[in-house]
């Protein structure tokens, strides 16, 4: 699997998964919007929060990529690469169904992350309400570990890159894809959230992400030639 295609795919997955991102982080984004006086929230708070969130994604991607690299050292490279590629494609298929509305397709993955989140979530209380950049940045870094099927599907792709650097860049691309949706949600929160979660939008996004997964599985069938 070409690494540059992973970056592009994850960026598009993050972008198309905007409705899910707003649903998961919308409460925090809305709270940030209400901290500033007047009708317009401050760009700095939203950029700090999202910068912290994306930094956590990149850190998680580095860890996943390093683990993937260690697994490749443990045995024949090609079969393991193919297995990781198939796993990443299957997660994209599951994510497509998740966005369409088949929420059980990734519920198991989100449940697996609740143990870590139970330990991290109490730490967020000290930064809420986030009225300054110094509060919004660590809040975003902590919130980046929220159990999320969309993030977990991207992490499997980061795992398949086989290196810490590539894994971090893969999750950075994914995080940047989610950025426009959450920044826009900060300004037109209620209206945009309704649009992003509309059935037609979720169906379109889900089918496109599902398509990425199906294409990945098809390429895995001819992996030596990829």
pLDDT tens for 71-98 read: 666 555 556 667 777 877 787 787 778 7
Averaged pLDDT for residues 3-9: 71
Q: Please answer whether residues 157 and 170 qualify as being in contact, where contact means their C-beta atoms are separated by less than 8 angstroms.
A: yes
| Residue 62, pLDDT score | 96
Average pLDDT along the chain: 75
Tokens 């998964």 belong to residue: 17
Domain count, the chain: 1
- Asked if omega into 129 is within 30° of 0 (cis), the reply is yes
Q: How far apart are CA 158 and CA 64, in angstroms?
A: 6
Q: How far is CA 118 from the centre of its chain?
A: 19
| Residue 92, pLDDT score | 76
Question: Angle at CA 171, nearest 5°, toward 221 and 220?
Answer: 0
Taking only the tens place, the pLDDT of each residue in 43-69 is: 788 888 889 999 999 999 999 999 888
Q: Please answer whether residues 94 and 218 qualify as being in contact, where contact means their C-beta atoms are separated by less than 8 angstroms.
A: no
DSSP H or E stretch at residue 18? helix 18-35
Q: How far apart are CA 131 and CA 99, in angstroms?
A: 32
DSSP code for 104: G
Highest mean pLDDT among 11-25, 27-41, 140-154: 140-154
Averaged pLDDT for residues 149-161: 83
H-assigned helices in 36-100 = 43-73, 77-100
Specify the pTM: 0.76
Residue 162 region, left (φ>0) first, then alpha (ψ -120 to 50), else beta?
left
Averaged pLDDT for residues 202-225: 72
Q: How far apart are CA 144 and CA 50, in angstroms?
A: 9
The tokens for 110 are: 């989100």
| Residue 105, pLDDT score | 60
Averaged pLDDT for residues 208-215: 77
Domain housing 49: 3-225
| Residue 29, pLDDT score | 60
Sign of the CA dihedral running 208, 211, 213, 219: negative
> Could you give the count of Cα atoms lying within 13 Å of 36 in the half-sphere of its Cβ?
18
């Amino acid at each position: 699997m070409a690494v540059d295609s992973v970056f592009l795919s994850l960026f598009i997955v993050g972008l198309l998964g905007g409705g899910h991102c707003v649903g998961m982080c919308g409460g925090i984004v809305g709270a940030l919007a209400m901290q500033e006086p007047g009708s317009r929230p401050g760009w700095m708070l939203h950029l700090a929060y999202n910068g912290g969130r994306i930094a956590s994604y990149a850190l998680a991607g580095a860890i996943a990529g390093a683990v993937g690299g260690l697994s490749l050292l443990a045995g024949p490279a090609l079969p393991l690469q193919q297995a990781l590629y198939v796993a990443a494609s299957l997660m994209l298929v599951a994510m497509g169904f998740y966005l369409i509305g088949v929420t059980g397709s990734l519920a198991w993955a989100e449940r697996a992350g609740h143990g870590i989140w139970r330990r991290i979530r109490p730490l967020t209380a000290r930064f809420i309400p986030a009225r300054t950049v110094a509060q919004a940045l660590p809040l975003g870094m902590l919130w980046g570990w929220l159990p999320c099927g969309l993030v977990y599907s991207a992490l499997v792709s980061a795992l398949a890159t086989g290196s810490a650097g590539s894994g971090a860049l893969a999750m950075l691309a994914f995080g940047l894809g989610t950025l426009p949706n959450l920044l826009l949600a900060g300004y037109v929160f209620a209206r945009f959230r309704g649009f992003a979660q509309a059935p037609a939008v979720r169906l379109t996004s889900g089918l496109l992400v599902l398509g990425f997964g199906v294409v990945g599985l098809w390429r895995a069938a001819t992996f030596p030639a990829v």
